[in-house]
Amino acid sequence: MSAITHYLCNFKFLLFFFFFFLLHPILPTSTSQPITSSHSRPHPLFPCTPPHHSLYPFCNTSLPTSLRAQTLISLLTLPEKLLQLGTNASAVPRLGIPPYYWWSESLHGINANGPGVNFLGPIPAATNFPQVILTAAGFNRSLWRSVAAAIAVEGRAMYNVRQAGLTFWAPNINVFRDPRWGRGQETPGEDPVVTAAFAVEFVEGFQEVGERRRGGAVGGKRMLMGAGDGDGMMLSACCKHYTAYDLESWGGFTRYNFNAVVTEQDMQDTYQPPFRSCIQQGKASCLMCSYNAVNGVPACAQGDLLQQARNDWGFKGYITSDCDAVATIFEDQNYTKTPEDAVAVALKAGMDINCGSYLNRHIQSAINQGKVQEEDIDRALLNLFSVQIRLGLFDGDPIKGQFGMLGPQDVCTSEHKKLALEAARQGIVLLKNDRKFLPLNKHRVSSLAIVGPMANTTALGGGYSGVPCSPNSIFDAFSAYAKKTSHAAGCLDGVPCTSNAGFMEAVSIAKEADFVIIVAGLDLSQETEDRDRYSLLLPGFQKALVTTIAAVSEKPLVLVLTGGGPLDVSFAEGDPRIASILWIGYPGEAGGKALAEVIFGDYNPGGRLPVTWYPESFTRIPMTDMNMRADPSRGYPGRTYRFYTGPRIYDFGQGLSYTNYTYNLLSAPSKLSLLGSIKAGSENNMQHKNGYDELDYIHIDDVEFCGSLIFHVQVLVTNKGDMDGSHVVMLFSRVPKNFKGAPERQLIGFDRVHTVSYGSTETRIMVDPCEHLSIVNELGKRVLPLGDHTLMLLNLEHIVSIER
Ligand SMILES: *[C@@H]1O[C@H](CO)[C@@H](O)[C@H](O)[C@H]1NC(C)=O
Ligand SMILES: *[C@@H]1O[C@H](CO)[C@@H](O)[C@H](O)[C@H]1NC(C)=O
Ligand SMILES: *[C@@H]1O[C@H](CO)[C@@H](O)[C@H](O)[C@H]1NC(C)=O
Ligand SMILES: *[C@@H]1O[C@H](CO)[C@@H](O)[C@H](O)[C@H]1NC(C)=O
Ligand SMILES: *[C@@H]1O[C@H](CO)[C@@H](O)[C@H](O)[C@H]1NC(C)=O
Ligand SMILES: *[C@@H]1O[C@H](CO)[C@@H](O)[C@H](O)[C@H]1NC(C)=O
């Protein structure tokens, strides 16, 4: 989502205003009451206000949600219905319904990228958590859930003071397929299992009400479930962008006109799983279709894919287009001959609302031309109103509702700020640490030079940041630690670093300091919405800055890298004058403090890279090639740790600690028998030997009791060092040899465990063979290979043999 930038740099923005403000009041309406009657009679603040507007059946909380939604639809005229189909849904004054703005944003804190949010009222700021890629690097499910729950409390508090809506468009769960992608920072990384797990925690933590939310309390008070269906939500989260969206602007292609050509195999084992989990397990109430086409059909016109979400995954919610993604069906994808056809094809496919005003402008003529029927509109409205009803929008005064006590006192609380700090601590990744150079002993550091273009900025949140509660730079944070701290940017124009004119000043402070820390890397000038990178190297003169300082500094230096996308820093990895390298992503408002704590040993780093760091040579691969699997015949190396066959700078899952951990495998089965688990009558499907070089496998659809095959891998983690620490256990698996198209290895489970110095902690990782040990074949079907599967924990391997 999206795209204020799209509006700004696009003439659609002008059209939007032209139509909205000039034509909107004179849109044909069949009612005697003009839409603009609100001038004389102010809108009520909320629907169902007593005494006159609270008696409609759609206000009756004892009725089921869908019935309430249906009765509301039945009371609307066609022109009133049509004005509900854009982001800025119009008021229906005669029914006491105020306008509703659908687009609010909450990716890693409430932010104003969606115009539904503003910071102009009693709440001037909101907690700025680390950008998602860094929070993901903590590999801690309960952290992910806590962050989402805290964001939701702030969102609902902002709604109560009319500074936000109830429908938020996060999380971004597209797989980080290409290291150049400008929005990879917004995602949990390149692995579909991690991305799916993040999606579930985020959506549940964000939407849920009642018992499960922090022990059933918000703001210290117990919350009650609303009446009705028990399907209430605190806020609505949105799985975006569906699907195969991960290119902004590269090589003449834009996200608006790009056609992602995706094999059925990649679709089913890479692009779709996060969306399936987000909906099936997370029970998200919104799905956003993306700008790009998938195999020739624009995503918002993909009836099969949109219906799959409802029919196969049990989706209950509304489907929104990305902003102006109905316009792009016609204007950029050239998929239809007229705007009316674009509107029709999206509605018929199952999209319910368009972000923007395109439907408002073209739907009446689409109806006149017989391309859209009123029942298409009623179907969309049923989904839209049902979500609003579940959110309590039609339950009367929100301040009297179950979340009504949330307000300014629940935003930027010390608890939330601590959680932002905790998320940054847990995510920071230590990539290099020669001869235990770090941690620095704070009692022995007399002076510190903090150099580099990212050292003295408070813009540490990455894309989709709001106004932070307590903005602090990295330099500010270190000043609180060391007695004498100096700073020089080195790059006078910041991250682009187009000249070395600032080097002299940096050199002079570096020479005088006891220790030097360089904070370099990326910011939104290099990677963001509508902007992909072309290179994986440090921008401009940044590398020269690092090597220049390394040459003059008395001791080896510490290199801190910012940004969401991988960097080729092989020069630094191989340079002994650079003792340590840390990656901090976009660490959010408390990121400076978290970094100082790590560097001075107050926190033992345990984050792991959620993406592969490729060498610069990777950029010869067209970004437009969606294939995950390597193809040696055309020199294609594949993508992500699962399939990439080339050299890497750092691997997925890489991350050091100040201590060492060892594993003991306490228990895992050696054999699994499918006997009794195969569906009766599928015996003839048992011999699937042709497609896979005489190898044996079984379709998971033919396994009757997947649940009976579930086992746990029990591991003892021992901390062999003299610092306490938390450590991420990652369990990978590899299928029996020679299965064509199988991943090199696949993460099947992970857990972050805390272990005291020289102590041990036990963990259990659940393995569901149907899901975790299966692979997707070329037809897009999941099959479970029979034979020896290898489970891997670091260098420890264990064979599980699956037999009939
Ligand atoms: C709300 O619906 C219930 C169930 O149908 C009904 O008994 C009750 O009278 C309704 N309340 C109002 C105010 O109409
Ligand atoms: C929504 O439309 C109303 C007019 O109907 C306008 O006053 C308001 O500013 C619009 N809101 C946004 C966020 O565009
Ligand atoms: C769509 O049509 C426009 C105008 O006819 C043309 O400039 C553009 O290249 C076409 N785009 C695609 C993706 O075919
Ligand atoms: C850091 O940035 C702030 C705000 O731009 C500026 O006022 C301050 O002088 C800078 N500090 C240093 C040490 O350069
Ligand atoms: C961890 O163990 C390895 C191999 O035994 C050793 O080289 C390294 O120095 C140890 N690291 C720490 C932080 O103790
Ligand atoms: C996981 O995150 C939670 C929430 O911040 C925290 O309390 C817990 O200590 C973390 N677990 C580990 C092992 O770091």
What tens digit of pLDDT does each residue of 90-133 get? Answer: 999 999 999 999 999 999 999 999 999 999 999 999 999 999 99
What integer pLDDT is reported at residue 39 of this predicted model? 40
Question: Which residue's alpha carbon is at the smallest distance from atom 9 of ligand 6?
Answer: 754
What integer pLDDT is reported at residue 695 of this predicted model? 61
Give the residue, 740 or 637, on which the prediction is more confident: 637
Q: Tell me the per-residue pLDDT of 444-500, one tens digit each, with 9 for 90 and over.
A: 999 999 999 999 999 999 999 999 999 999 999 999 988 899 999 999 999 999 999
Mean pLDDT of the chain: 91
Lowest-confidence region among 22-26, 354-358, 532-536: 22-26
Residue 9 has pLDDT above 70, yes or no: no
What integer pLDDT is reported at residue 30 of this predicted model? 33
Report the separation in Å between the CA atom of 201 and the middle of ligand 6, taken as the mean of its atom positions.
14
What integer pLDDT is reported at residue 14 of this predicted model? 34
Contact 285, 237 (CB under 8 A): yes
Half-sphere exposure of 803 (CA within 13 A, CB side): 7
Ligand nearest to the CA of 721: 5
CATH superfamily for domain 427-634? Glycoside hydrolase family 3 C-terminal domain (3.40.50.1700)
CB neighbours of residue 504 within 10 Å:
11
For ligand 3, say whether the CB of 334 is within 6 Å of any of its atoms: yes
Question: Which residue's alpha carbon is at the smallest distance from atom 10 of ligand 4?
Answer: 456
Residue 20 has pLDDT above 60, yes or no: no
Q: Tell me the per-residue pLDDT of 413-427, one tens digit each, with 9 for 90 and over.
A: 999 999 999 999 999
Q: Tell me the per-residue pLDDT of 342-354, one tens digit each, with 9 for 90 and over.
A: 999 999 999 999 9
Q: Tell me the per-residue pLDDT of 138-177, one tens digit each, with 9 for 90 and over.
A: 999 999 999 999 999 999 999 999 999 999 999 999 999 9
Cis peptide before 241 (omega within 30 of 0): yes
What integer pLDDT is reported at residue 28 of this predicted model? 31
Nearest to 776 by CA among 681, 700, 693, 662: 700
Residue 21 has pLDDT above 60, yes or no: no
Average pLDDT over residues 378-402: 96
Give the residue, 23 or 672, on which the prediction is more confident: 672
Residue 26 has pLDDT above 90, yes or no: no
The whole-angstrom separation of Cα 629 and Cα 612 is 15
Architecture of domain 660-803: Sandwich (2.60)
The whole-angstrom separation of Cα 499 and Cα 503 is 9
Q: Which atom of ligand 1 is nearest to the CA of 55?
A: 13
Q: Is 523 a catalytic residue?
A: no
What integer pLDDT is reported at residue 237 of this predicted model? 98
Report the separation in Å between the CA atom of 606 and the middle of ligand 5, taken as the mean of its atom positions.
15
Give the residue, 28 or 797, on which the prediction is more confident: 797
Q: Which residues contact 492 (CB under 8 A, 6 or more apart)?
A: 499, 501, 502
674 is written with which tokens?
A: 């499918």
pLDDT class of 216 with cuts at 50, 70, 90: very low
Q: Which atom of ligand 5 is nearest to the CA of 720?
A: 14
Residue 1 has pLDDT above 70, yes or no: no
Nearest to 658 by CA among 570, 719, 711, 713: 719
Residue 383 has pLDDT above 60, yes or no: yes
578-585 vs 429-433, strand pairing mode: antiparallel
For ligand 2, say whether the CB of 13 is within 6 Å of any of its atoms: no
- Going from N- to C-terminal start, the domains of the chain cover 73-102+237-387, 427-634, 660-803
The whole-angstrom separation of Cα 228 and Cα 62 is 5
For ligand 5, say whether the CB of 660 is within 6 Å of any of its atoms: yes
CA distances from 287 to 155, 207, 763 (A): 19, 14, 34
Residue 45 has pLDDT above 60, yes or no: yes
Residue 428 has pLDDT above 70, yes or no: yes
What integer pLDDT is reported at residue 482 of this predicted model? 85
Which residues are paired to 725 by β-bridges? 755
Contact 303, 350 (CB under 8 A): yes
Contact 129, 135 (CB under 8 A): yes
Contact 69, 385 (CB under 8 A): yes
What integer pLDDT is reported at residue 22 of this predicted model? 33
Nearest to 235 by CA among 309, 286, 287: 286
What integer pLDDT is reported at residue 47 of this predicted model? 97
The CATH classification number of 73-102+237-387 equals 3.20.20.300
For ligand 3, say whether the CB of 535 is within 6 Å of any of its atoms: no
Residue 212 has pLDDT above 60, yes or no: no
Contact 661, 727 (CB under 8 A): yes
For ligand 1, say whether the CB of 48 is within 6 Å of any of its atoms: no
For ligand 6, say whether the CB of 135 is within 6 Å of any of its atoms: no
Ligand 3 pocket test, pick from 256, 261, 332, 334 with the greatest ligand atom count within 8 Å of Cβ, gives 334
Q: Which atom of ligand 6 is nearest to the CA of 423?
A: 5
Q: Residue 362 belongs to what H/E stretch?
A: helix 358-368
Residue 688 has pLDDT above 70, yes or no: no
Average pLDDT over residues 305-315: 97
Report the separation in Å between the CA atom of 559 and the middle of ligand 5, taken as the mean of its atom positions.
21
